[in-house]
Amino acid sequence: MIKRTITSILALLLFGTMLMAPVANAQDAASASSDEAPAAPAWEWDANDPRIGLAPGIENAGEAIRNLIHAAHLPRPPGFTLEDEAEGGRMSNTDLAFRGNLLFLGNYGGINIYDISDPSNPSLRTSIVCPGGQGDVSVHGNLVFMSAQETRGRLDCGVEGVEEDVSPERFRGVRIFDVSNLDRPRQVAAVQTCRGSHTHTLVSDLANPGRVFVYNSGTSRVRPPEELPGCSAATDPEEDPNTSYFRIEVIEVPLIAPETARIVGAPRIFEQDGNIAGLWQGGDHGEGTQQSRRTNQCHDITAYPELGLAGGACAGNGILLDISDPANPVRTEAVVDPNFAYWHSATFNNDGTTLLFTDEWGGGNAPRCLGSDLPTWGANAMFKRRGNEMTLAGYYKLPAPQTADENCVAHNGSLIPVPGRDIKVQAWYQGGVSIFDFTDPSNAYEIAFFDRGPISTTERLTGGYWSTYWYNGAIYGSAIVRGLDVFTLTPSEHLTQNEIDAAMLVIVDEFNAQNQMRNEWPVHVSVAKAYADQLVRAGVMTDSERSALFSAIDQGNASVLEARATVLEHSALASLGAGDTGHHNTTRVRLAEQLRGLASGG
């Protein structure tokens, strides 16, 4: 019991300190970047990076890969391709969601469902034809949610579009399908919205598992009120306080009766001092800074229900929402960044202490990873969160330059659940996939990558990865033109086999990148060894100490493990006492917890 108490006190000390220390540094960084024009940091890259100079092609492009295995590739299925790819995006693959052994791949023309029982051999199970773009998908139980924004979208999923400017047949909003029978998915609801649905966020209601919420982010033009009553295209609230801009829609979906899904709120989350257009007004932040879009919409929102929080990437601002009452999200913080053109998406680290935002400079169709582009533009910005305060801590951008033929900018990704570290796998369109560590957000670094050459050097084509997510042990990439890819991690100096094995222990029933669930690790030999590997990497444990510890773990003698846990706790305490607030103290405490768990037969 006494030992447990030491652990708790240590944990308290550590987490308290951990939260304080980096914030002070981050504030310096934030004020430096807002007070002066960002000095162009030396954007240096490894001239021998194999991503440079890859040959072009759709299915035969040159490839570069590091610390990954490319386990599978499937081109888009029949019916979801265009003869002339240059037509532009009408059959683009888009976002991904997962449930059990199924992968749901959105497309501007519908949804393709794959069986991934064997991740290295995915097979197409069901194609749902239902155009409307961009086909952002989520899944919960037997319900699949899909965003539609284009004016050609039809209520009946028809492909022929809608000719009239005002028509009851047009659909722009959030569709809900029942896929309990994979041979006959049915559309059970279609919730119309004024600006359609560009992305949506499934939000679990932890207090009431009988319902879910969907936060809708519409970014397209407002439809006429004759088509959907109440819609107003006024671009300023002075023109019309009921404008359809400056809001999101909150949709409630009762799981027992999804056909009754409806909008239950349209919160004015940008309101400030009574002005619903109260946040960033558009424009740059001073000389030499980026021009940020006006905040009249969110592009994407990521909920973290266990924290009661959501991060919103909303055109000109990054915002924090209190979603402890998920029906009524309330903004508690808004930040700007002089390097951001368009706040695009958000990802929390597992502890919720860091919030990573992406900047989709150029909208995704432009080559924004050139060697001449600032590495702080079109990048990720990492903010430390303390309560409702967010402070800039650092940036990460794909560390290999891409050509002018490759559309490239920060895009969608997810955490890889390596215990003790914040690691993300992220899509960069034609920049490929990059896996990086942002445990210390002021010193993010790359761990692994995969990249292909340009789709074409003669035609202007938008392609590359829309999303790359970790799901139950593998990485899945949705490539806009080329199809579906699957990868697995291989160990390297930046990531050990124990850390990979520990990540593989996190198995979830469902995965929706924008409805973040806390990753939890069992007491397990791999988890303990992963922490030990991290202490060696941090330089606070020697190789021989690790070998001895691994022997003790493998032998499983309870009293030996307990003794080692105590030693670790004391080192953490001593280190803290000496003013060292490094992350390795936390790792020591977590390792000690694992050892005690193993000792008690966990």
Partner 1 sequence: MKYLIPCVALLLWGCASPHAARQEAGLPSGSSGSDGSVVVQPGAPGASTRVFESAEDIELQRPPHTAADTHFMQGMIHHHAQALEMSELVPERTARRDVRMLGKRIHVSQASEIALMRDWLERRGEETHAARMHMPGMLSAAQMDELQSASGRDFDSLFLTYMIMHHEGAITMVRDLFASPGAAADQIVSEFATDVDMDQRAEIARMRAMLANN
Residues near partner 1 (CB under 8 A): 77-84, 86-91, 108-109, 123-131, 133, 150-152, 155-161, 163, 165, 177, 182-190, 219-221, 235, 259, 281-284, 287-288, 291-294, 363, 366, 460
Please, which residue, 361 or 396, has the CB nearer to partner 1? 361
The nearest distance, CB 228 to partner 1, in angstroms, is: 15
Q: Which two tokens stand for residue 137?
A: 């998908």
Give the shortest CB-408-to-partner 1 separation in angstroms: 15
Q: Which is nearer to partner 1, 263 or 523 (CB)?
A: 263
Residue type, 265: G
Residue 343 in tokens? 């706040």
- Whether 86 and 103 have beta carbons less than 8 Å apart is answered as no
- Smallest gap from residue 288 Cβ to partner 1 (A): 7
Q: Nearer Cβ to partner 1, position 251 or 532? A: 251
C-alpha angle with apex 178: 176 to 184, nearest 5 degrees? 125
Least distance in angstroms from the C-beta of 87 to partner 1: 6
Residue closer to partner 1 (CB basis): 165 or 325 = 165
Q: What six digits make up the tokens of 446?
A: 């790359």
Task: Tell me the C-alpha distance between 71 and 121, whole Å.
Answer: 8
Q: Are 538 and 572 in contact (CB under 8 A)?
A: no
Provide, rounded to whole angstroms, the least separation between the CB of residue 453 and partner 1.
Answer: 21
Of the two residues 81 and 490, which places its CB atom closer to partner 1 in the complex? 81
**CB 79, min distance to partner 1, A:** 4
For residues 443 and 378, what is the distance between their CA atoms, to the nearest angstrom?
18
How far apart are CB 109 and partner 1 at their closest, in Å?
5
Write the CA distances from 13 to 232, 440, 553, integer angstroms. 53, 19, 27
Stated as kind and residue range, the H or E segment containing 573 is: helix 558-577
DSSP class per residue in 432-477: -EEEEE-SSTTS-EEEEEEEE--S-SSS----SEEEEEEETTEEEE
348 contacts 358 by C-beta, under 8 angstroms = no
- In degrees and rounded to multiples of 5, residue 548 shows phi and psi of -65, -40
Q: Pick from 154, 164, 160, 158: which is nearest to 192 by CA?
A: 154
Q: Of 67 and 219, which has the nearer Cβ to partner 1?
A: 219
CB of 294 to partner 1, least distance (A): 6
192 vs 468, which CB is nearer to partner 1?
A: 192
The separation between the first and the last C-alpha atoms of the chain, rounded to the nearest angstrom, is 17
Specify the pairing of strand 380-386 against strand 354-359. antiparallel
Q: Which is nearer to partner 1, 287 or 493 (CB)?
A: 287
Cβ distance to partner 1 smaller for residue 130 or 279: 130
Least distance CB 98 / partner 1 (angstroms): 18
Q: For residue 322, count CB atoms less than 10 angstroms from its CB and return exposed for 0-12, middle for 13-18, buried for 19 or more.
A: middle
Looking at 480-561, which runs of residues are DSSP E strands? Answer: 483-489, 510-511
DSSP 8-state class, residue 305 = G
Contact 112, 77 (CB under 8 A): yes
Q: Compare residues 154 and 588 and give the one whose CB is closer to partner 1.
A: 154
| In the complex, least distance from residue 241 CB atom to partner 1, rounded to whole angstroms | 19
Give all strands of the β-sheet with 474-479 in edge-to-edge order.
Answer: 68-74, 483-489, 474-479, 465-471
Distances in whole angstroms, Cα of residue 39 to Cα of each of 28, 33, 339, 373, 443: 15, 9, 11, 13, 18
Nearer to partner 1, 75 or 352 (CB): 75
Closest to partner 1 by CB, 6 or 214 = 214
Quick one: which H or E segment has residue 301? Answer: strand 300-304
Shortest separation between residue 363's beta carbon and partner 1, angstroms: 6
Using alpha carbons only, give the angle 497, 501, 505 rounded to the nearest 5 degrees: 170
- Looking at the Cβ atoms of 198 and 421, the one nearer to partner 1 is 198
Instruction: Indicate the DSSP class of residue 120.
Output: T
Nearest alpha-carbon partner for 338 in 289, 380, 392, 288: 289
CB of 386 to partner 1, least distance (A): 31
Residue 356: CB minimum distance to partner 1, A: 24
